Amino acid sequence: MSTALSCFKAYDIRGRVPEELNLELARQIGLAFAAEFAPTTVCIGRDARLSSRDISLVLANGLEDGGVEVVDIGLCGTEEVYHATFSQGFDGGIMITASHNPADWNGMKLVRAGAAPVSADSGLHAVRDRILSKDLPIVRKKGNTRRQTFRTEYTDHLLGYFGEKTLRQFAPLTIVINAGNGCAWLPIRDILSRLPCTIIPLHEEPDGTFPNGVPNPLLPENRRVTSLAVLRHRADIGVAFDGDFDRCFFFDEQGNFIEGYYVVGLIAATLLAEHPGETIIHDSRLVWNTQEMVLAAGGIPFESKAGHAFMKERMRAENALYGGEMSAHHYFRDFSHCDSGMLAWLLLYKLLSHSGKPLSELVKERMRLFPVSGEINRSVGNVGQILEAVRVRYEKTAKTVTFVDGLSVDMGDWRFNLRSSNTEPLLRLNVESRADPSLMEARRDELLALIR
């Protein structure tokens, strides 16, 4: 049963259209969501993909057949669905998006009341199983769909974290923002008048054909345009978003891409300066820099399985102030424990303003202390067998071996995490060391040889 609908992943729905996700399945997902959770009102939104509008229409139809009143907020980012769901008191929310995947993919991210995540363990696979068993009752009293926007409330909420007086004290920086032809520019254009910065937009128009490449700034080939724009405009910082803008990526004033790992530590320390003693959630892939910065700022670091639904569940369980993943997801307690790419770049803007230092200076020492491999992906045939072979190879001499998310091995002066992807058929490797890039590179190559 678990492989019958391959688009149902560990924490979202994602697959090729129409091979894995088609219109009939989208309608059935609406029916199954209504049957499983019995919501009264559900908010839906969509990204810029060419298939998103039609999927949105049939999803709404399925929800209506399940007796649900649907509020369609239209073209938006995932975090706008989260915000509408928790701020307007809706019983659920569904965002139609495939995030950073290619243009012929689509998917959905599901939440319940309060924007609580729906993962494999909290109802996502129950929705799938209802579809497989054809347990999709149509109620007698059909719901309706209304179209409404909450963007003004959303942008007010974002800027409300800082206050008008603080916003006026932000430095007049020049910022390059690459929306990747996704939806990020839609709210940014609405908040420009309240920020003292100069914004240089790139690929700002939503376009589901992605004429400038799939909006995935983690791909090295997609970084060059933002980097060059930072240099050309002598900008203070560059920001690049993925398609549904729940993730943002940063470039320093020299055009260098900054690994999300180091940004997590910066944001955590910034928030802890005003909220000492709070818990900070981080993923297992890279940990040493985050843990050191959190402890130094008086916080409590807590390790979690990666993935937006898992991180949100852990955020709620620990009542954490903030959570960050090296993949550039940033979660905030006051955003109903959800991820927000918009809040992340605004917080970094605040940090740059108050410190008076360029981004390169803020991360230089952290990068020296904890050099990293960057995430390396390999397509393999037998994930379990490889993980076991790697565990056996290192566990006898390791300081610790843990399994919070895949296999994490601490060798004292270096460590690594090896895990299978939750969304793609890949094995992912991350390696870090303590101030020894040569050691990190040697162990990285050693592990890659084992994986091959």
Q: In sequence order, what are the residues at sequence separation of 6 or more whose Cβ sits closer than 8 angstroms to the Cβ of residue 245?
A: 77, 78, 79, 179, 182, 183, 184, 341, 342
| Residue matched to tokens 């397509």 | 379
CA angle 358, 360, 361 (to 5 degrees): 70
Q: Name beta bridge partners: 241.
A: 248
Cα separation, 199 vs 260, whole angstroms: 22
**Active-site residue (options: 99, 284, 336, 420):** 99
Q: Name beta bridge partners: 69.
A: 41
Cα separation, 201 vs 148, whole angstroms: 27
Closest among 143, 134, 141, 176 to 63, alpha carbons compared? 143
Burial of 14 from C-beta contacts in 10 A (0-12 / 13-18 / 19+):
buried
Burial of 400 from C-beta contacts in 10 A (0-12 / 13-18 / 19+):
exposed
Residue 1: count of CB within 10 angstroms of its CB: 9
User: What separation, in Å, do the N-terminal and C-terminal C-alpha atoms of the chain show?
Assistant: 31
**Residue 318 has what DSSP assignment?**
H
Q: Is 99 annotated in the active site? A: yes
Closest among 31, 20, 18, 37 to 60, alpha carbons compared? 31
Catalytic positions, please?
99
